[in-house]
Amino acid sequence: MAGKKSSGRGQRDLKVKVKTARGRKLSSTRWLQRQLNDPYVKRAQAEGYRGRAAFKILELDEKYRFLVPGARVVDLGCAPGGWCQVAVARTNALGEKSGKAQGRVIGVDLQEVEPIAGAELHQLDFMEDGADDKVKAWLSGRADVVMSDMAASSSGHKQTDHLRIVALCEAAAELAFDVLEEGGTFVAKVLAGGAETGLQTLLKQRFDTVANVKPPASRADSSEKFVVARGFRGRSEADAPDDPDGAAA
């Protein structure tokens, strides 16, 4: 007697299908369906992270090891806080790892962010005058890591969005030059598109190594990648502010 034919249930993950509701755009429906079926979204919910982006910095750190116990970290544009959560755990900012140095995590964002145990969160426009001095004051010194997962608001025009995020990344890099300790690391999101060439040149002048990476958690259909610049060479004389009283006699 022949056995029953298998239905195939349990042999693969069942995908959630979302119907397009009246008044909701098709693009919104597709985004919702993708979210519901995204394994990183499910993992973030299960592991208590504030978003799937936490796995991007986890994967980058697994490869380059910059979030070490005792490190002083600045997270620019930190909302909703997933990167800060990872940094707190990896740098031992809560001092829970016996025998390990205790790190510091400073998160800054234009908007108020829900508190994160072990992180110091500040509402700040990092591009305003004096922002670097505020960050150094909060850290009581310089940072070992400056990182940014920021993206400019989408305009719907690919090239415009690319230029905006490169400009944002360049501004983050300029702050990093002011607050990083020698040997420090800069990590930031960019979008592939050609305009990032100038940024790459600038970083290669200031850091020993510059890598461009697309971590597994970054969606395959996204043009985002991450630049990881390590071994900050320090501020050059050209970076020093002009001294009106320092003219040669």
Give residue-wise pLDDT tens across range 51-79. Answer: 899 999 999 999 999 999 999 999 999 99
Question: Alpha-carbon distance 104 to 89, whole Å?
Answer: 11
- What dotted CATH number matches 53-235? 3.40.50.150
Give residue-wise pLDDT tens across range 80-99. Answer: 999 999 999 999 999 999 99
Q: Is 232 helix (H, G, I), strand (E, B) or coil?
A: strand
Residue predicted with more confidence, 161 or 194: 161
pLDDT at 10: 39
Give residue-wise pLDDT tens across range 153-172. Answer: 666 777 777 788 888 999 99
Question: Alpha-carbon distance 79 to 215, whole Å?
Answer: 20
Instruction: Give binding residues for S-adenosyl-L-methionine as ranges.
Output: 81, 83, 109, 125, 149
Helices (H), the chain: 26-37, 39-47, 54-64, 82-91, 131-139, 158-179, 197-206
pLDDT at 205: 96
Give residue-wise pLDDT tens across range 106-142. Answer: 999 999 999 999 999 999 999 999 999 999 999 999 9
Domain spans, the chain: 53-235
What is the pTM assigned to this prediction?
0.79
User: Annotated catalytic, 189?
Assistant: yes
pLDDT at 48: 85
Residue predicted with more confidence, 152 or 220: 220
**How are beta strands 180-191 and 224-232 bridged, if at all?**
antiparallel
Indicate which residue of 189, 204, 214, 225 is catalytic: 189
Percent of the chain with pLDDT over 90: 60
Q: Are 41 and 55 in contact (CB under 8 A)?
A: no
